[in-house]
Structure 1
Amino acid sequence: MLEGVNVALGVTGSIAAVKTVELAHELRRRGADVRGVMTDSARGIVHPWAIEFATDDDVVTEITGSVEHVDLCGYDGWADVFLVAPATANTVGKIAGAVDDTPVTTCATTALGADTPVVIAPAMHEPMYDHPGVLEAIDTVSSWGVEFVDPRIEEGKAKIAREEAIVCDVARAASDRPLEGNHVVVTSGATSESIDPVRVLTNRSSGRMGRAVARACYVRGADVTLVHDGDEVPYANVRAVESAAEMLAATRDACADADALVSAAAIGDYTVEASAEKIRSGQDLTLELEPTPKLIDEIRDERPAVPIVGFKAETSGDERSMLERARETLERADLAFVVANDASVMGSDRTRTLLVHENDAARYEGTKAGLGDEIADSIAAILTDDMPRN
């Protein structure tokens, strides 16, 4: 996600600075090179040696005649993104007023003047976050194009955002955003059909693939709606659903203004009339299954011009058969392309797929995150080629 990206990490005097070591590790795990910048107040909470260990580089704790702020964040500076995490109310206010009395605020002023992307993750007590002056400072700095990673409001505190949210926003800031201005809808994971109040029919899909696509589209600048039976995520507006009917309804609603749909969910092919009471065990039971509507067909009928990416899972293990079934789906629903895979990859972090287009097919083997990047790049190319569209 952050391969080849240089991140200057500004650390200020919030108690959340204790989380900065792990944040630096996570940025590096995602591919970034990281260099630390610290205020005096931050040094009272976490030792510069800890940041040096986490980044594997020297830490800037003062601005000297070597003009470290220019070297990091100036014109042609080292950093691709300047990340302030955590950012105190004091630091946000100083950035808004161009007050440069710490290494972090000096780097921020330099980055803003040099058009180096800046990302800020605030952390403070909730009453401080709600102070009119702090909110005004956030609005001011946001109007300059700075990305704020919203804190988690818990226990009377505006706690620093989770690492995934910060990393995603850093990656988005570093991206050239080929999907900016586009709304991408992604369906993900399994659906469940109630048999009775405690039992369901479902499948083995984990939703990893759909979440990877949604994340990749967000990083590339898209507004993303994720329709799934899962928790909130920092990179998408989540529509929580359970059944195939709920997924179809939520997707239909989300696609009213969508520029593209990625139908990665493993939607149940059958539903059943649920019993109002728990079915007692130990008895012979026959379930009358009814087919569910095909989501991509329904959306295609309503949005004939919107690009749709379909997924096709097979269990045969035969590549020729996978290709034939994928082409059938491609032609039936007039899809942009189809991702065909063996169902054995369900629940795994890795996948083996065929990306099937109208006139060709390409193999992919690797992580689902990597495949999400491939799909997001293909969507960006399709939307660019298809403009204007309905």
Structure 2
Amino acid sequence: MLEGTHVALGVTGSIAAVKTVELAHELRRHGASVRAVLTDGARGIVHPWAVEFATETPPVTELTGAVEHVDLCGREGWADVLLIAPATANTVGKVAAAVDDTPVTTCATTALGADIPVVVAPAMHEPMYDHPGVLDAIDRVESWGVDFVDPRIEEGKAKLASEAAIVTAVARATTPDPLAGRHVVVTSGATTESVDPIRTLSNRASGRTGRAVARACHVRGASVTLVHDGPDVHYADVCTVESAAEMLDAVVAAVADDDSADALVSAAAVSDFTLDSAPEKIRSGESITLELEPTPKLIDTIRADHPDLPMVGFKAETGGDDEAMVERARALRDRVDLAFVVANDASVMGADDTRALIVGTDDVARYTGSKAGLGARVADELVAVLD
């Protein structure tokens, strides 16, 4: 997601600076090169040697005649983005006032003047974060196009956002935004039908691919609604559902709200059957027969109400026969008038990597690799559809 990206990592004197080593590692795991800049306060919390170990480059701890801030964040500088994480209230206020009395704030002023993207991840005690002056400073800096990664409010503290949220924000700041102004609805994961108050019927879908699609669309500038059976995520507005009926209702609402949706990516493994749930636990020890009823097809329902909405379907098959997968994907594409269909090999359900065939109108593309990579590929194909 950050392959080839140069990240200047500004570290300030919050106790959250102890997370700098792992944050730098996470940025590099996603393909970024990282060079760090430390304030005196940060050096009192995390040793420059630790930061050098994490980045494989000695950090900047003072500005000299080598004009390190210009070398990093100037118009011809090394950095593609300046990430300040953690950012103290003191640093946010100084950035807002163009006060340049630390290596980090001087890099920030330089980056803003050079139109280098800046991402800020605050971390401080909650009362400091709620101070009117701090909030005003955040609003002022945001008005200049700086992206803030909201902290996690816990235990009276505005804690540093998760590494995943920070990485995503850096990716969004450095990736072209062809989906800017677009609203994409994504379904993901499994749905679950209740047999009784304890037992359920479901499937093996993990939701990783759908979440990867949602994240990739967000990184490319879209506003994303994610309808799934999982937790909240930092890159989308989440509607949590359980059953196929709940997912259908949620998607109907998401795409029908003033026709605000520009596309639907139906990546969820929606239950094909449902049943009347028993009001009490079914006693064990005896054979029972469950009467299953077919559920309405989500994409058929949406297509009937929105004949012009660009839609992407997913089709999981167990045979492993590419020709059969393509044939069934084309049949689904033609029946529902889908932009393209991603045909999955069901044997990879729950695995980290995947194998898929992207079946468009004129061609078939084969993909093997990570589900994050497939999500990016689907988002790029969607860009071409909406262009």
- 1:383 lines up with 2:378 in the alignment: no
Report deviation, 1:340. Answer: 0.4
Amino acid of the structure 2 residue aligned with 1:121: A
Give 1:102's aligned residue. Answer: 102
Amino acid of the structure 1 residue aligned with 2:8: A
Give 2:115's aligned residue. Answer: 115
Helix, strand or coil for the counterpart of 1:23? helix
Amino acid of the structure 2 residue aligned with 1:196: D
2:350 is aligned, of 347, 350, 362, to 347
Report deviation, 1:245. Answer: 0.3
Which aligned pairs between 1:149-168 and structure 2 lie closer than 5 A? 149-168=149-168
Give 2:135's aligned residue. Answer: 135
Amino acid of the structure 2 residue aligned with 1:202: S
TM-score w.r.t. the length of structure 1 is 0.98
Aligned counterparts of 1:150 and 1:288: Cα–Cα separation in 2:
48
Give 2:74's aligned residue. Answer: 74
Report deviation, 1:195. Answer: 0.4
Q: Which runs of 5+ in 2 are unaligned?
A: none
Report deviation, 1:167. Answer: 0.2
Give 1:170's aligned residue. Answer: 170
- 1:310 lines up with 2:321 in the alignment: no
Aligned counterparts of 1:363 and 1:41: Cα–Cα separation in 2:
51
Helix, strand or coil for the counterpart of 1:105? helix
Helix, strand or coil for the counterpart of 1:119? strand
Amino acid of the structure 2 residue aligned with 1:357: G
Q: Deviations over 1:199-231 (max 9, x none)?
A: 000000000100110111111111011110010
- 1:357 lines up with 2:360 in the alignment: yes
Helix, strand or coil for the counterpart of 1:255? helix
Q: Deviations over 1:222-258 (max 9, x none)?
A: 1011110010111111100000000001111111211
User: Runs of 4+ in structure 1 displaced over 6 angstroms?
Assistant: none
Aligned counterparts of 2:265 and 2:39: Cα–Cα separation in 1:
44
Report deviation, 1:358. Answer: 1.4
Helix, strand or coil for the counterpart of 1:61? coil
2:300 is aligned, of 288, 291, 297, to 297
Report deviation, 1:46. Answer: 0.4
1:333 is aligned, of 331, 336, 339, to 336
Helix, strand or coil for the counterpart of 1:366? strand
Which aligned pairs between 1:1-390 and structure 2 lie closer than 5 A? 1-256=1-256, 257-384=260-387
Helix, strand or coil for the counterpart of 1:305? coil
Q: Deviations over 1:172-199 (max 9, x none)?
A: 0001111111111110000000000000
Amino acid of the structure 1 residue aligned with 2:103: P
How many residues matched? 384
Aligned counterparts of 1:62 and 1:381: Cα–Cα separation in 2:
46
Helix, strand or coil for the counterpart of 2:186? strand
Helix, strand or coil for the counterpart of 2:90? helix
Report deviation, 1:306. Answer: 1.3
Amino acid of the structure 1 residue aligned with 2:25: H
Aligned counterparts of 1:114 and 1:18: Cα–Cα separation in 2:
30
Q: Deviations over 1:54-74 (max 9, x none)?
A: 000121001111110011011
Report deviation, 1:319. Answer: 1.2
Aligned counterparts of 2:178 and 2:6: Cα–Cα separation in 1:
20
Amino acid of the structure 2 residue aligned with 1:362: A
Amino acid of the structure 1 residue aligned with 2:296: P
Aligned counterparts of 1:28 and 1:363: Cα–Cα separation in 2:
28
Aligned counterparts of 2:79 and 2:225: Cα–Cα separation in 1:
31
Helix, strand or coil for the counterpart of 1:141? helix
Report deviation, 1:360. Answer: 1.3
Higher mean alpha-carbon deviation, 75-84 vs 249-258, is at 249-258
Aligned counterparts of 1:176 and 1:322: Cα–Cα separation in 2:
33
Report deviation, 1:261. Answer: 0.7
TM-score w.r.t. the length of structure 2 is 0.98
Aligned counterparts of 1:163 and 1:251: Cα–Cα separation in 2:
30
Give the RMSD, CA atoms, in angstroms: 0.6
Report deviation, 1:362. Answer: 1.2
Aligned counterparts of 2:344 and 2:129: Cα–Cα separation in 1:
47
Amino acid of the structure 1 residue aligned with 2:300: D
Aligned counterparts of 1:328 and 1:98: Cα–Cα separation in 2:
60
Aligned counterparts of 1:255 and 1:168: Cα–Cα separation in 2:
25
Report deviation, 1:89. Answer: 0.2
Report deviation, 1:305. Answer: 1.1
